[in-house]
Structure 1
Amino acid sequence: MLKLKLHRNKLGLGLASRATATTTTTHGNHYQYLQNSKLPTLYFQRSLPRLPIPLLEKSCERFLAAVQPLLSEAELQQTQQQLEQFRQGIGMELHAKLKLQDAANKHTSYISEPWFDMYLADRAPLPLNYNPLLVMKPDERPQYQQQVARATNLIISSLRFWRSLQAHKLEPEVFHMQPKKSDTASYRRWMSIAPKAFATYASYAFKAFPLDMSQYDKLFGTARIPGLGKDELVQSPKSKHILVMRRGNMYAMNVLDSSGYIHSPSVILGRLRAIMELDAQRDAASVPLGVLTAAQRDVWARARAHFVSNGTNAQLLEQEVDAALFCVCLDSEQDGGYDEANPTPLLHHLLAGKATNRWFDKSISLLISADGTAAINFEHSWGDGVAVLRYFNELYKDTLQSPFVSASTPHTSAEGDKQNVRVLNFEVDAQTADAVQAAYAENARIVDSLDMQQLRYGKLNKGTCKQHKLSPDSVIQLSFQLAYRQAFQRYVGSYESCSTSAFKHGRTETMRPCTNATKQFCEAILRPSNQQPSANELRAMIDKCSSVHGQLTKEAAMGQGFDRHLFALRRIAQTEGLPLPAVYECDAYKRLNHNIISTSTLGSDALLAGSFGPVVSNGLGIGYSIQNAFAGAIVTSYKNQAEGKVFIDSLESAFDKICAVIEQSAKSN
Structure 2
Amino acid sequence: MNKAKPPLPLPSLEASCRQYLRAVRPLQTDEQHRRTSTLVEKLLTGDGPALHEALAAWGRTTGSGWLEPLWVETYLEDRRPLPACQSAVLVPTQILRPTGVGYARWVAAVALAAVEYTLREGEDDHGDPALLRATRIPGLKRDTIADHPASDYFVVLRAGRMHRVRARWGSRGPHELEEIMKEILRLPPATHTPIAALTAARRTEWAVWRDVLVDSGPHNAHVLQTVETAMFVLCLDDAEGQSVAEAAHRFMVGNPASRWHDKAAQIMLDLDGRIGFSFEHSRGDMASFQALTAHVREKSPEIAVAPQGGRSDVRREELCWDDVGPVLERAASKAQQFALAQESRLTTVAARVENAGTETCGLLADAVVHVAAQLAHVGLRGRPAWAYQPVDMSRYAGGRIEVMRPVSPEMLEFIRLEGENASAEDRRAALIRTATEHRRRQTECITGSASERHLFALKTFGEHIFGDHAEMFDDVAWERLHSRLELSTTSVPRMGVVPFSPGSVDGYGLAYDIGSTGIFCTVITQESSASDYLVTLANEINRVAALLHNRR
State if a TM-score over 0.5 links the two structures. Answer: yes
Matched-pair contact (CA < 8 Å) for 1:131–1:612? no
Aligned partner of 1:187 in structure 2 is none
Matched-pair contact (CA < 8 Å) for 1:270–1:411? no
Aligned partner of 1:327 in structure 2 is 233
Aligned partner of 2:492 in structure 1 is 602
Aligned partner of 2:382 in structure 1 is 489
Answering whether residue 149 of structure 2 is matched by residue 237 of structure 1, we say: yes
1:373/1:646 CA distance change after superposition, 3 Å: same
1:659/1:545 CA distance change after superposition, 3 Å: same
Matches of 1:459 and 1:224, distance apart in 2: 43
Aligned partner of 2:472 in structure 1 is 583
* Structure 1 counterpart of 2:221, from 286, 305, 314: 314
Alignment of 1:6-21 (within 5 A): none
Matched-pair contact (CA < 8 Å) for 1:130–1:612? no
Matches of 2:433 and 2:312, distance apart in 1: 64
1:454/1:278 CA distance change after superposition, 3 Å: closer
Greater Cα radius of gyration, structure 1 or 2 = 1
Aligned partner of 1:58 in structure 2 is 15
Aligned partner of 1:27 in structure 2 is none
Q: How far is the alpha carbon of 1:405 from its aligned partner?
A: 4.2
Matches of 2:199 and 2:507, distance apart in 1: 24
Answering whether residue 348 of structure 2 is matched by residue 459 of structure 1, we say: no
Matches of 2:409 and 2:191, distance apart in 1: 55
Calculate the aligned-residue CA RMSD, in Å: 2.2
Aligned partner of 1:179 in structure 2 is none
Aligned partner of 2:33 in structure 1 is 76
Matches of 1:159 and 1:444, distance apart in 2: 30
Matched-pair contact (CA < 8 Å) for 1:135–1:610? yes
- What is the TM-score with the length of structure 1 in the denominator? 0.78
Matched-pair contact (CA < 8 Å) for 2:118–2:231? no
Matches of 1:601 and 1:300, distance apart in 2: 32
Aligned AA (1:421): R
Answering whether residue 338 of structure 2 is matched by residue 442 of structure 1, we say: yes
Aligned partner of 1:14 in structure 2 is none
Aligned AA (2:492): L
Answering whether residue 417 of structure 2 is matched by residue 524 of structure 1, we say: yes
Aligned AA (1:223): T
Answering whether residue 260 of structure 2 is matched by residue 359 of structure 1, we say: yes
SS in 2 for 1:311: coil
Aligned AA (1:459): N
* Structure 2 counterpart of 1:645, from 504, 519, 531: 531
Aligned AA (1:627): G
Aligned partner of 1:375 in structure 2 is 276
Q: C-alpha offsets along residues 232-277 of structure 1, whole Å, 9 cap, x if unaligned?
A: 1112222111000111110000002xxxxx34345x5424433432
5+ residue gaps, structure 1: 1-39, 175-212, 257-261
Q: How far is the alpha carbon of 1:475 from its aligned partner?
A: 1.1
SS in 1 for 2:271: coil
Q: How far is the alpha carbon of 1:627 from its aligned partner?
A: 1.8
Matches of 1:337 and 1:301, distance apart in 2: 37
Q: C-alpha offsets along residues 63-116 of structure 1, whole Å, 9 cap, x if unaligned?
A: 0000011101121122112211111112122112112212334x3210010011
Q: How far is the alpha carbon of 1:373 from its aligned partner?
A: 0.7
* Structure 1 counterpart of 2:545, from 641, 656, 659: 659
Aligned partner of 2:318 in structure 1 is 423
* Structure 2 counterpart of 1:562, from 406, 430, 451: 451
Matches of 2:159 and 2:172, distance apart in 1: 24
Matches of 1:449 and 1:550, distance apart in 2: 35
Q: How far is the alpha carbon of 1:125 from its aligned partner?
A: 0.6
1:283/1:587 CA distance change after superposition, 3 Å: closer
Corresponding pairs, count: 548
1:649/1:337 CA distance change after superposition, 3 Å: same
Percent identity at matched positions?
Answer: 24
* Structure 1 counterpart of 2:432, from 525, 529, 543: 543
Aligned partner of 2:135 in structure 1 is 223
1:410/1:500 CA distance change after superposition, 3 Å: closer
Matches of 1:443 and 1:411, distance apart in 2: 43
Matched-pair contact (CA < 8 Å) for 2:248–2:276? no
Aligned AA (1:628): S
Aligned AA (1:634): T
Matches of 2:19 and 2:534, distance apart in 1: 30
Aligned AA (2:327): Q
Matches of 2:172 and 2:295, distance apart in 1: 18
Matches of 2:186 and 2:498, distance apart in 1: 31
Q: How far is the alpha carbon of 1:349 from its aligned partner?
A: 0.8
Q: How far is the alpha carbon of 1:659 from its aligned partner?
A: 3.1
SS in 2 for 1:383: coil
SS in 2 for 1:609: coil
1:395/1:282 CA distance change after superposition, 3 Å: closer
5+ residue gaps, structure 2: none
SS in 1 for 2:497: strand
Q: How far is the alpha carbon of 1:652 from its aligned partner?
A: 2.4
Q: How far is the alpha carbon of 1:285 from its aligned partner?
A: 4.3
Q: C-alpha offsets along residues 594-638 of structure 1, whole Å, 9 cap, x if unaligned?
A: 22211111111xx44222322322221111112234212111111
SS in 1 for 2:466: coil
Q: How far is the alpha carbon of 1:539 from its aligned partner?
A: 1.6
Aligned AA (1:127): P
SS in 1 for 2:504: coil
SS in 2 for 1:614: coil
Matches of 1:575 and 1:139, distance apart in 2: 47
